[in-house]
Amino acid sequence: MGEMIKMVVVLTFLSSLSGGVLAYVKENTQEKIEMQVLQLVKGPAIMAIFKDASNDPVADRFSIEEEGVQHEIFVAKIDGKPMIALETSGKGYGGDVGLVVGIDTTTDKIFGVGVTTHSETAGLGSKAKDDPKFAAQFAGVDSKGPIKVGDPINALSGATITSAAVCSAATDAGELYARLKPQIEEQLQAFK
């Protein structure tokens, strides 16, 4: 009986120690990981959408909290007009498809989209990230949606589920923008 108690105490101690080490590592690397994701995953998509921006939209950003969730809003100025980008996701064939959606705040129309993350089939669903013609279809579409495959977006050949995921994510971005529009407009005053 004494051996069993000794094993339980040792196991509890080792579990607590390893849990503490993992928590310490996560706490001390979280900021660096977030910065890497911003620079290497979100940043290229945002810069592709806002290639004509007179500022750095990745650096010029702010957060808005909604129901305990932080939403990062990226701000771009193109020809003196304020544009914003925000990230959403849709359920694709291989998992979630991350999407950054640029919105013209003066017209409430989509300025552009860029896929950030996906686990879609190479050569089929992965074209959502690689095919500029697919992304170009979203420019000028009303952010109030709904945005659907076939109306007004043509699906990628062989990747209807992925195309629907991108459309769903764009629709979600439009809904999020509509909900946060008063706070976004207030925050944009600092960027004028």
Task: Look at the alpha carbons of 36, 185, 143, 82 in this order and tell me if their dihedral is positive or negative.
Answer: negative
Does the structure show a pLDDT above 80 at 92? yes
Q: How far is CA 70 from CA 101, 118, 120, 128, 147, in A?
A: 16, 21, 27, 26, 24
pLDDT for the residue numbered 180: 95
**Nearest in space to 94 (alpha carbons), one of 66, 124, 70:** 124
Residue 97: per-residue pLDDT: 92
Instruction: Check pLDDT > 90 for residue 35.
Output: no
| pLDDT higher than 90, residue 114 | yes
Distance CA 53, CA 34 (A): 23
Residues facing 75 on adjacent strands: 84
> According to the model, what pLDDT value does residue 117 have?
87
pLDDT of residue 137: 93
pTM for this one? 0.81
pLDDT surpasses 80 at 49: yes
Q: Tell me, what's the pLDDT at 103?
A: 97
Q: Taking 80 as the threshold, does the pLDDT of residue 36 lie above it? A: no
Q: Say if CB 98 and CB 40 are below 8 A apart.
A: no
Q: What is the mean pLDDT of residues 135-146?
A: 92
Share of the chain above pLDDT 90, in %: 57
Q: Is the pLDDT of residue 163 over 80?
A: yes
Higher-pLDDT residue of 167 and 28 is: 167
Where in the chain does DSSP place strands (E)? 61-66, 69-78, 81-91, 96-104, 109-115, 148-149, 152-153
